[in-house]
Structure 1
Amino acid sequence: MTNIKMKVEIWSDIMCPFCYIGKRKFDNALEQFSQRDNIEVIWKSFDLAPGLKTDTSIHSVDFLQKHKGMSEAQAKQAIARVTDFAKETGLDYDYDKIVVANTHRGHQLIHLAGQIGLQDAMKERLLKAYFIEGRNVDDVETLVDLGQEVGLEKETIESELNESQFAAHIEQDIAEARNIGVNGVPFFVFDRKYAVSGAQPEEQFLNVLQKSYSEWYAKQDHPELEVVQGTSCDVDGNCD
C-alpha cells in the first residue's frame, strides 16, 4: 500500500447543531475502525444562512422565531430536543449563551487550518466555541484566539480573514454540494461512492466505513487492467 488514504468528505456548518452531534458520532465510529489511520477526513463548507447578519443581542429562541417561523413554544421545544440529543453524545449545548453569528469567517479559518493538517481540530474548536462556550465565531479577535489554540499563527489568521483567500474554496464546496444533491447537513461522503445523511448512530457510520474501505482497499491492491493480448506462454507451458 502507498500513503494514499480513503477520503471521507463531510459537508457541514458551524451553526448546525446536528453537525456537532454527527461529528461526535462519526469520530466515535472512526475510533473503533481498525483502519482509521488510512482514512483522510476532509471538512467541506456548507452555509445554512449566507445572508445572516451577526447579532450578539438576539436570543436563540428569538432567532428561531424570526428566521424559522416558529412560535416561542415551538422554538423552546426544538432547543430542548436538540439539547437532549446532544447530551446523549456527551455534548452540553448552552442555547442561552449562543451568539447568532454568520459563519463565513469560521469556514475560512477551517480551510486555512487544512493547509497544515489542523482542519479537524479547527472544526472541533469552532463547534465547541459556538454551541458550548457561546463565543462569537464571526469576531476576528475571537477567531484569532481560537486559531492560535489549535496551532495557527496570529499573523496568518489575520491575513486570511482580511484577504479572504479561501472564499473561493467555500464557494466551490457549496457548488459541489449542489452537484451531488446535498440538501441538508451534516452530509458524509465515503470515497465518493457512499453517503450518510444526518447524525446517524455510530454503528451506521462504522458499517459504511467498513464497507467503503474494503471496496476501496481491493481497488488499490487489485487495479483493473486493460490487457492488450499478444503471443505468450501460459502457466501450463502452452505457447501461442
Structure 2
Amino acid sequence: MSEPLTIDIWSDVACPWCYIGKRHLEQGLAALGADAPDVRIEYHSFELAPDTPVDFAGSEVDFLVGAKGLPRQQVLTMLDRVTGVAAEAGLTYDFDRLQHTKTLKAHELLHFAKAHGRQLELEERLFRAYFTEGVHVGRLDELVRLAEEAGLDGSAAREALESGRYADDVQEDIDRARQLGITGVPFFVLDGKYGVSGAQPAEVFAQALSQVAAERAA
C-alpha cells in the first residue's frame, strides 16, 4: 500500500481565510468521493501578527485600523466580505465577539496535540472558538479547556504550555515558512512539492489533489 498523500498547511488561528481554506480543502476532498486520495494532513505554525499583545485592548476593527492603517469603513466592508465568504463555506464568523490576541501559545498547543494524535481536532476547535464563540485563545485556562474538548489531557496540556516545551517547534515552522518563501497564509503544500496559496475554492483543491494523485499513480 502506498503512503498517504501529504498535505502540509501553514496557518494561523487568527487568520479568517485559514479557517475558510480548511473547510474548502475538506469540501474538495469530499467532492472527489471514492476517487479521493488517502491523505495525511499536518498543520504548521505561522504568526500573522507576532507583536500583538496577549490582551489586546480593542476590537478586531480597532486592530485592523491600527495595524493596516486603513479607514474604519474600509475595514468594516472587508470584514463583511469575509463573513459572507465564510457563510458560503458553512462557517459562522462573529467579529463583534472576537477577542484579538497573540496566537503563540495556541500554536504551542497545536504541536502538543500533534504529538498526541489530535492536531486536526484541536485545529477545528480553536478556529471555532476564536471566530464563532469569542473565546480568548491567548489565555492558558481557555486553551486547556479547548484542549480537553478536543480529547486531550488537560493537565498535560497545561504543563506543556507553562513549560514552553513546544516553543522551538513553533519557531521551526515559522523558519521553514520563510525558507519556502511563504509570506501569507493559508499556504498548502501537496505531496511535498506543489504549493497552493490562499483559501482557494473547493473545486480548485479537488482538481489539484486529483492531479497529484494521478501523477503518483503514473
Query: TM-score under structure 1 normalisation?
Result: 0.87
Instruction: Please state whether the residue corresponding to 2:212 is helix, strand or coil.
Output: helix
Larger Rg: 1
SS in 2 for 1:9: strand
SS of alignment partner, residue 138 of structure 1:
coil
Aligned length: 217
CA distance in 2, matches of 1:77, 1:55: 25
Report the secondary structure of 2:52's partner residue.
coil
1:151 aligns with 151
Question: 1:48-59 alignment to 2 at 5 Å?
Answer: 48-55=48-55, 57-59=57-59
Unaligned runs of 5+ in 2: none
Q: How does 1:64-213 map to 2 (within 5 A)?
A: 64-213=64-213
Instruction: Note the C-alpha offset of 1:36.
Output: 4.7
The letter for the 1-side match of 2:166 is F
Give the drift of 1:103: 0.4
What residue in structure 1 maps to residue 10 of structure 2? 11
1:61, 1:193 → 2: CA distance? 37
Alpha carbons of structure 1 residues 62 and 179: separation in structure 2 relative to 1, 3 Å: same
SS of equivalent residue, structure 2 residue 6: strand
In structure 2, what is the Cα distance between the partners aligned to 1:101 and 1:91? 21
- Structure 1 residue identity aligned to 2:187: F
Alignment partner of 1:30 is 2:29: yes
The CA deviation string for residues 3-55 of structure 1, in whole angstroms up to 9 with x for no partner, is: x3221100010100000000000011122333557210010111111111023
SS across alignment from 1:195: strand
State the AA in 2 paired with 1:121: E
C-alpha RMSD of matched pairs (Å) = 1.3
Seen in structure 2, the aligned counterparts of structure 1 residues 83 and 216 have a Cα distance that, compared at 3 Å, is: same
The structure carrying a bigger helix percent of its residues is 2
Alpha-carbon contact 1:94-1:131 (below 8 Å) kept: yes
Using the aligned pairs only, state the percent identity: 40
Which deviations, in whole Å up to 9, do the C-alpha atoms of 1:143-192 show, x marking residues without a partner? Answer: 01100001110111111111111111111111111111111100010012
Q: Which has the higher contact order (CA 8 A, sep 6+)?
A: 2
Query: 2:133 & 2:181 partners in 1: Cα distance?
Result: 33
**2: CA distance, partners of 1:185 / 1:157:** 26
Query: Hey, what's the Cα distance between the residues in 2 that align with 1:37 and 1:149?
Result: 29
Which amino acid in 1 is paired with 2:107?
H
SS in 2 for 1:101: coil
Secondary structure of residue in 2 paired with 1:73: helix
Q: Counterpart of 1:99 in 2: which secondary structure? A: coil
Q: TM-score, normalised on structure 2?
A: 0.95
Cα contact 1:60–1:98 (8 A) shared by 2: yes
CA distance in 2, matches of 1:177, 1:146: 26
| 1:204 to 1:37, Cα distance in 2 relative to 1, 3 A | closer
